Amino acid sequence: MKKVILLFFLIIFTPCISFAVDSIKIGCVDFQKVLNESDIGKKAKSDLESLVKSKQSAIDEKSRVIEKMKSDLEKQASVLSEDAKKSKEEELEKIVREYQRLVQDSQTEVKKKELELTDGIIKEIREIVEKMGEEEGYTLIMEKGGGIVLYSRKEIDITDEVMKKYNQSRTKTKK
């Protein structure tokens, strides 16, 4: 990355090649904006939220079962024999372990799905950016997010154009 920035500054500030500066075309893309605002990005976010809701409802149900078992055990503790009490406590511990496993598995599945959806979109966006770079004569296209670009003029921000082409490419593949 440092090499790219150094190269960029050398091109801009070297007097012997200042005549080439006029032909340099630079753009930047905000990948996060495309992920959040493109049609497929919105759909992916919606799908992920649905998955989270379904996992959360299963977790909430298991939590209610645990709370009911705890409550029942507390109420019955004085009338249960030691063996029966121990059996109920072991059963409760088993349910708690299942609950913890469910939470962990759900988190893992959601993260995996998010990564799967995001990686696919980013790959497609990169292909569009490369194609735009070649077809429209860009010298350099940088990513705006992640602290890579500290400042850019609005004129070089091609995020909306990338998003438009991305939405169009997704519409064509659906037909």
Three-class secondary structure of residue 74 per DSSP: helix
Q: Which residues, in sequence order, are bridge partners of residue 144?
A: none
- The one-digit pLDDT tens for each residue of the chain (175 residues) are 555 554 455 455 554 444 444 578 888 888 889 999 999 999 999 999 999 999 999 999 999 999 999 998 888 888 888 888 888 889 999 999 999 999 999 999 999 999 999 999 999 998 998 888 888 888 888 888 765 665 567 778 888 888 898 888 877 776 6
Tell me the whole-structure pTM to 2 decimals.
0.67
The percent of the chain in helix, strand and coil, each rounded to the nearest 5, is: 80, 5, 15
Q: What is the pLDDT of residue 7?
A: 47
**Exposure of 24 in the CB half-sphere (CA atoms within 13 A):** 15
Q: What is the pLDDT of residue 18?
A: 42
